[in-house]
Amino acid sequence: MTDDQKNRQPNDAHPGDITRRDFTALLVGAGLAATTTVQSATAVDLEVVEADVEIKTPDGTCDAAFIHPHSHPKTGSYPGVLVWPDALGLRPSMRAIARRIAAEGYSVLVPNPFYRVAKAPFSDASSFNFQNPDDRAKLKPLMESVSAPGNAEKDAAAYVAFLDAQKEVNKAKKIGTQGYCMGGALVVRTAAALPDRIGAGASFHGGGLVTDKPDSPHLLAPKIKARM
């Protein structure tokens, strides 16, 4: 038996289990693979349409950006993608990411995850300093608004329902979701809450994926059907 086999034996003995190391490796690997795919893509970029939209949720109205290519010549629609922003929320850089994804042939939704507290953008991200305690303090109520128990799951259901209601979204295709920093954990919660609708998920430099709390995102792995 090789050293690698010895190391993996406890996990292999219980196929339904997954170690923290394995789970983190899967998410990091997915992020690197996704990055490589984008960098090597040779498809011609499609012209995209961008619109500001509002989405009704159980807790209010979320402002968001919906970006998609012009109607597909055959189907008229494209697979949907939900992008979870990082702690600086919906802002120009997140819209740019969505446009890049849309240009590859997807209908993309980027919500303001902090809609319960404020409309986007909540601050000038270019001047935000994570080393400044005052700046960091501004993030606490924002992040808590989406991380409160059940909120991410409710929001994810509303966002996916919005995508499925759009003529530009091909409902015969699974939805993908990706998130940045705090958005990584929201990707995991989304995939676990909607296992039959979410087909792929990726966390980029995700934070809080594994904690010692009973609601740690990594514990949701058995509920996920998507490729992560």
Residue 167, pLDDT above cutoff 60: yes
Residues of the chain above pLDDT 70, percent: 77
pTM comes to 0.78
Long-range contacts of 205-211 (CB under 8 A, 24+ apart): 205/31, 205/180, 205/181, 206/27, 206/31, 206/179, 206/180, 206/181, 206/182, 207/181, 207/182, 208/182, 208/184, 209/23, 209/24, 209/27, 209/184, 209/185, 210/20, 210/23, 210/24
123 burial class (0-12, 13-18, 19+ CB within 10 angstroms)? middle
pLDDT given for residue 30 in this prediction: 44
Cβ neighbours for 105, distance < 8 A, ≥ 6 positions apart: 43, 46, 69, 78, 79
| Residue with the larger pLDDT of the pair 40 and 96 | 96
Separation CA 152–CA 88 (nearest Å) = 17
Mean pLDDT across 204-214 = 94
Sign of CA dihedral 148, 118, 100, 126: negative
pLDDT given for residue 108 in this prediction: 98
Tokens of 25: 């490796």
pLDDT given for residue 75 in this prediction: 67
Tokens of 58: 């159980």
Per-residue pLDDT band for 141 (boundaries 50, 70, 90) equals: confident
Residue 25, pLDDT above cutoff 80: no
Give DSSP secondary structure letters for 102-135.
HTTT-EEEEE-TTTTT-PSP-S-GGG--TT-HHH
pLDDT given for residue 155 in this prediction: 98
Q: Domains along the chain?
A: 44-223 (3.40.50.1820)
pLDDT given for residue 12 in this prediction: 40
Per-residue pLDDT band for 28 (boundaries 50, 70, 90) equals: very low
Residue 197, pLDDT above cutoff 80: yes
Across the beta sheet with 80-84, the strand order is 48-57, 60-69, 107-111, 80-84, 175-180, 198-204
User: Helix (H, G, I), strand (E, B), or coil: what is residue 20?
Assistant: helix
